[in-house]
Amino acid sequence: MTDYGHPITFGLSLYPSVDQLGETRKLAKAADTAGLDYLAIQDHAYNPEFLDVWTLITYLAAETERISFFPDVADLQLRPPTMLAKAAASLSVLAGGRIVLGVGGGASAGGIAAMGGARRSGPEMIAFTEEALKFMRTALAGGVVEFRSGQHAIEGYEAGPVPASPVPLWLGGNGPRMLAVTGRSSDGWVSALSTYVPPAAVASRQQVIDDAARSAGRDPADIRRIYNVVGAIGPSLRGPGLTGDVESWVAALTDWSVDLGFDTFIFWPMNAPLSQLEIFARDVVPAVRQRVAERRSQQ
């Protein structure tokens, strides 16, 4: 696979349970202090124990200073795309540009329907998502937004506010049709959890994205690649995902960057998240950056 050459960045996934808000706040502040690049928060609004992702991001943005946030990923079928773009642009202005807009077509058709959203078929959901990306990009840039199709009726409005820096538009997807949309229309691919898309399954998905990008006249290297890495750091720890000592993590993330094309790793710790975050930020992150730089210099 191709190393697309992007800077290597790192983040932490925060679990949005209302019962864990105190720990979530501590983790956000610790990740900010430790120098991580992103805090990522999943969006399953139909889960009654989950806080709303945009409300939680807004709360935590006010509690932190430099770290960026992105929904991993916001459900487009429950969040009107024009209003979602408005929210992202507004929060980017308020938070000094610390917002990336991660979106997806929605993980649960039943959950979406239960909250009043349309129960769309697979092809309808794909079309809905790709069309939404097109006019959301216009909305984020502050243009006049008008779009009509069988899925959308945007009759024209002047979008704003316009952030000082563009808000990246990342798309989460796993199937071939959504991966092709990623290549044609998004700024980044947010992969599913590493337990769902293991490293051996990555190359074929990257190829779908690259082929679609080229067919649309785009350079595949313009698309960021984000991996949600489940696991635990420690020589005696076992469980799903990536487990092992620091050297195992450094070797794996280096290979996944240089050989598989990922540039951003979001850590989903399986246990003791605060202590795992400390090890990740102190021992894994700088070592991976150094080793990737060394590997790139040898190519």
- What distance, in Å, lies between the first and last C-alpha atoms of the chain? 13
- 110 C-beta neighbours (distance < 10 Å), count: 9
pLDDT score of 108: 84
**What does the DSSP assignment read for 8-38?**
PEEEEEE--BGGGHHHHHHHHHHHHHHT-SE
Residue type, 176: P
**Three-class SS of residue 55?**
helix
Q: Where are the domains of the chain?
A: 9-297
Q: What is the DSSP letter of 225?
A: E
The answer for residues whose C-beta is within 8 angstroms of residue 67's C-beta and 6 or more apart is: 28, 31, 32, 36, 37, 38, 39, 98
In the CATH scheme, what architecture does the domain 9-297 have? Alpha-Beta Barrel (3.20)
pLDDT in tens, the chain (299 residues): 589 999 999 999 999 999 999 999 999 999 999 999 999 999 999 999 999 999 999 999 999 999 999 999 999 999 999 999 999 999 999 999 999 999 999 888 888 889 988 889 889 999 999 999 999 999 999 989 999 999 999 999 999 999 999 999 999 999 999 999 999 999 999 999 999 999 999 999 999 999 999 999 999 999 999 999 999 999 877 778 999 999 999 999 999 999 999 999 999 999 999 999 999 999 999 999 999 999 999 98
- 156 C-beta neighbours (distance < 10 Å), count: 9
Q: String of b and e for 173-182 (b: at least 16 CB within 10 Å)?
A: bbeebbbbbb
- Alpha helices, DSSP H, located in the chain: 21-34, 53-63, 81-94, 109-114, 122-141, 176-185, 202-215, 246-258, 273-279, 285-297
Query: 227 with 9: CB under 8 angstroms?
Result: no
Tokens of 150: 């069988």
pLDDT score of 1: 59
State pTM to two decimals: 0.97
pLDDT score of 35: 98
The answer for residues whose C-beta is within 8 angstroms of residue 153's C-beta and 6 or more apart is: 147
